[in-house]
Amino acid sequence: MMVRGLTPVMIGLISAIAVAAFILAPWLDRSTFAEEVAMSQSTIEQAFPNSSKCKRCHERVFEEWDTSPLSRSIHSPAFRASLDAFLSSQAGKDKAQCFRCHAPHVREFSEHVELFINQAKAGDPSLDGVACAQCHLIKQVDRTKQPPEPKYELESKMIYGPYKDSVQNRAHQSMELGLFQKSDLCLNCHQSVPSAAGLGKANDLLGNWDQSKAVKSGKECQTCHMPEQVGESANGEKKRRTANHTFPGRIGKLRQEAAKLGVTTKVEGEKTTITVKVQSLVPHNLPTTHPAWATVVLDLDIKGKNLKTVFTDKRIYGRVYQDANGQKTSFDFEAVKVIEDTVLKPEETRVEIFTFPTPKDTKTFDVEATLNYAPITGTASFLQRVEAESSQGSQDPVFQPIEIVKYAENVAATK
């Protein structure tokens, strides 16, 4: 039936428009969604400017930070693989949980948590995780909460730091704040894993760090992990004492100062006993982060005739978790119980004893004891996911041990 007043041409045009609208609707929805995402990211970056903007005036600091683990807090394959596992777990109902440390500004933008998730999953996020603004906009840390929480004051746009004589500039205002020379600044992310908070002290990351000799002597986290150097804080500025922003630790030369080994070998006929004293030199637990799959390992290798390995053994320093089903798990967010804890406590000396048959048909044998940050551990599916997420595949550095300290000696097989 033809509607009065509409010609066949007009009816055809209306039909074409309706069909076009139907076909283009999904595209229009996607376009609107993309615009909304862009606006969300713009809103976040107005409050927490991207580190690339800071680079314009703070090139040296930016380049140091860019080599640090903090710059990859939401980029790393291990984080993305863990995030997927977390979001599909019972604990994953609180989607912002992981980001409260890996991208702490999510605390101010919890309504945009899906953007943080999608950015991290992208593998090459344009959104910063832990960068300049995420730390230098913190005015206070609330230690009454566990874990402690950073307090941002975003309205003033004040940049806080440790310097009294900040250089006047048009980019931002600056203010000296004692917090930036105290461990409190670091505690909101480095004291415990929030998702495993129900385990209490059984899953703390630092141990009794505040009772250590180092802390009692006046050292703060920054003493070791942001060591003083002479350089420019801002481009063209007069050189002065500044803080290093590579954040040395597991990565960097600082790890070589983390522990030392004392090895004693006793040959008694056909039996040999080796005593290894592992002395932690750090004022916090070793390892600290996620000690189910970030472990420290002591490897002992004995090489006999023709340097053939005749004995090998190891000790693992970390934690073993149990989930609600009574199964072992690598994820602290699934854990309801810590069933084994061999983490080296602050400044602890651990004595390990190894006994084995004295190597035969040789006058001497070689003893090698090595303390390493171990390659990432976990279930086969988790490791496969990490490998798949990495552009380097199985060659990703997380699959390689990182040496802390090594001891080697040649020992007479007979007295």
Distances (CA, A) of 372 to 225, 233, 293: 19, 34, 14
Q: pLDDT: is 344 or 195 the higher one?
A: 344
pLDDT band at 365 (very low <50, low <70, confident <90, very high): very high
Tell me what percent of the residues of the chain surpass a pLDDT of 90. 67
Stretch 93-111: mean pLDDT: 93
Using the predicted structure, report yes or no on whether residue 1 has a pLDDT greater than 70.
no
pLDDT at 17: 46
3-state secondary structure of 1: coil
pLDDT at 237: 84
Hey, what are 211's tokens?
């009772």
Using the predicted structure, report yes or no on whether residue 402 has a pLDDT greater than 50.
yes
pLDDT band at 192 (very low <50, low <70, confident <90, very high): confident
pLDDT at 39: 73
pLDDT band at 34 (very low <50, low <70, confident <90, very high): low
Stretch 291-295: mean pLDDT: 84
Supply the DSSP symbol for 342.
-
Using the predicted structure, report yes or no on whether residue 24 has a pLDDT greater than 50.
no
Supply the DSSP symbol for 333.
G
Which residues are CB-contacts of 303 (< 8 A; sequence separation ≥ 6)? Answer: 309, 310, 365, 366, 368
Using the predicted structure, report yes or no on whether residue 145 has a pLDDT greater than 90.
no
Amino acid in position 340? E
pLDDT at 7: 54
pLDDT at 74: 95
pLDDT band at 15 (very low <50, low <70, confident <90, very high): low
Q: List the single range of 10-14, 38-42, 110-114, 340-344 with lowest mean pLDDT.
A: 10-14
Hey, what are 185's tokens?
């600044």
> What are phi and psi for residue 409, nearest 5 degrees?
-155, 155
Q: List the single range of 180-184, 188-192, 227-231 with lowest mean pLDDT.
A: 188-192
Please give the Cα distance from 288 to 294 (Å, whole number).
8
pLDDT band at 35 (very low <50, low <70, confident <90, very high): low
Hey, what are 285's tokens?
């637990």
pLDDT of 234-246, one tens digit each?
A: 888 888 889 999 9
What is the pLDDT of the chain when averaged over all its residues? 88
Among residues 283, 279, 142, 170, the alpha carbon closest in space to that of 234 is found at: 170
pTM: 0.86
Which residues are CB-contacts of 34 (< 8 A; sequence separation ≥ 6)? Answer: none
Please give the Cα distance from 235 to 45 (Å, whole number).
23
CB-based contact 280:258 (threshold 8 Å): yes
pLDDT at 289: 82
Q: pLDDT: is 286 or 143 the higher one?
A: 286
Using the predicted structure, report yes or no on whether residue 88 has a pLDDT greater than 70.
yes
Q: pLDDT: is 235 or 312 the higher one?
A: 312
pLDDT at 2: 45
pLDDT at 233: 86
Domain 255-412, CATH = 2.60.40.10
Using the predicted structure, report yes or no on whether residue 10 has a pLDDT greater than 50.
no
Most confident of 166-170, 203-207, 258-262, 329-333: 258-262
Enumerate the domain spans of the chain.
51-73+130-243, 255-412
pLDDT of 57-82, one tens digit each?
A: 999 999 999 999 999 999 999 999 99
Neighbouring-strand partners of residue 158: 173
Q: pLDDT: is 310 or 23 the higher one?
A: 310
Long-range contacts of 235-244 (CB under 8 A, 24+ apart): 235/57, 235/58, 235/59, 235/60, 237/167, 242/61, 243/162, 244/64
